[in-house]
Amino acid sequence: GNSVTQMEGPVTLSEEAFLTINCTYTATGYPSLFWYVQYPGEGLQLLLKATKADDKGSNKGFEATYRKETTSFHLEKGSVQVSDSAVYFCALSPAPMEYGNKLVFGAGTILRVKS
Amino acid sequence: EAGVTQFPSHSVIEKGQTVTLRCDPISGHDNLYWYRRVMGKEIKFLLHFVKESKQDESGMPNNRFLAERTGGTYSTLKVQPAELEDSGVYFCASSLSDSSNSPLHFGNGTRLTVT
């Protein structure tokens, strides 16, 4: 079946540190991949996505590259800010593209950034 | 535009009682989804409405859960009778279409605690 595995948190970093949150997936076919972020007291927001192998999604300084050979979609940011403190969810949308919003999520990774 | 709103934000009930959660999607969004996150684990798909019709209810855990979307506008999710394992955060999301190119907009969630 389809599944997403994320690194366990919490991840605690100092401001301006480099961030990596690992995400690997299991899926048949060619899924689309997503990162969602949940800030305190808010709902999930789409952070970035990639729809095919070698695509790079990017937004707000965050990046993730769809790696089919390693079935990974790791989230990176070069310099985190306190405002990036949130829960980050990796997710996939199983193929086909025509029915794309039944997402499979990982367990989420808490990020805490200290000033 | 108003986002997806969910009510209540928190609910604490005793085992055996009934609870009804409500979701108001973004106006004009035909597609409405319910997801659930239990005990800090993965967010899991429950069901999907297209207008007033259930497109996919494969994620509904058992027949204690009943979802409706009369008139194709707001949706309710009733749990009757509630059990301890139903505790978690229930998210509602809506989108214009069910393609993964149509972003999901999430509500802030309802935190349900069954004691």
Which residues of chain B lie closer than 8 angstroms to A108, CB-CB? Answer: 37, 40, 42-43
Q: What is the mean pLDDT of residues A84-111?
A: 87
Amino acid at A73: F
Q: Do A6 and A23 touch, CB atoms closer than 8 A?
A: yes
Does the distance separating the beta carbons of A101 and B93 come in below 8 Å?
yes
Confidence of residue A26 (pLDDT cuts 50, 70, 90): very high
Give the CA distances from residue A113 to residues A18, A19, B81, in Å, rounded to whole numbers and listed in that order: 11, 10, 41
Least CB–CB distance from B48: residue in A44, A102, A108:
A102
The reported pLDDT for the residue numbered A98 is 53
Q: Could you give the CA distance from residue A57 to residue A33 in angstroms, rounded to a whole number?
A: 9
- The mean pLDDT of chain A is 93
The reported pLDDT for the residue numbered B102 is 83
Percent of chain A with pLDDT over 90: 81
Which residues of chain B lie closer than 8 angstroms to A106, CB-CB? Answer: 42
**φ/ψ (deg, to 5) at B10:** -140, 145
Does the distance separating the beta carbons of B4 and A44 come in below 8 Å?
no
The reported pLDDT for the residue numbered B111 is 96
Chain A: closest CA distance from residue B94 (Å): 9
pLDDT tens across A51-74, in order?
Answer: 999 999 999 999 999 999 999 999
Would you say residue A45 has pLDDT above 80?
Answer: yes
Who has greater pLDDT, A97 or B92? B92
The reported pLDDT for the residue numbered A99 is 65
pLDDT tens across B92-107, in order?
Answer: 999 998 877 788 999 9
Per-residue HEC secondary structure of chain A comes to CCEEEECCCCEEEECCCCEEECEEEECCCCCEEEEEEECCCCCEEEEEEECCCCCEEEECCEEEECECCCCECCEEECCCCHHHCEEEEEEEECCCCCCCCCCEECCCEEEEEEC
Q: Do A76 and A18 touch, CB atoms closer than 8 A?
A: yes
Would you say residue A106 has pLDDT above 70?
Answer: yes
Q: What is the mean pLDDT of residues B40-56?
A: 93
Would you say residue B55 has pLDDT above 70?
Answer: yes
Does the distance separating the beta carbons of B3 and A43 come in below 8 Å?
yes
Would you say residue A97 has pLDDT above 60?
Answer: no
The reported pLDDT for the residue numbered A96 is 65
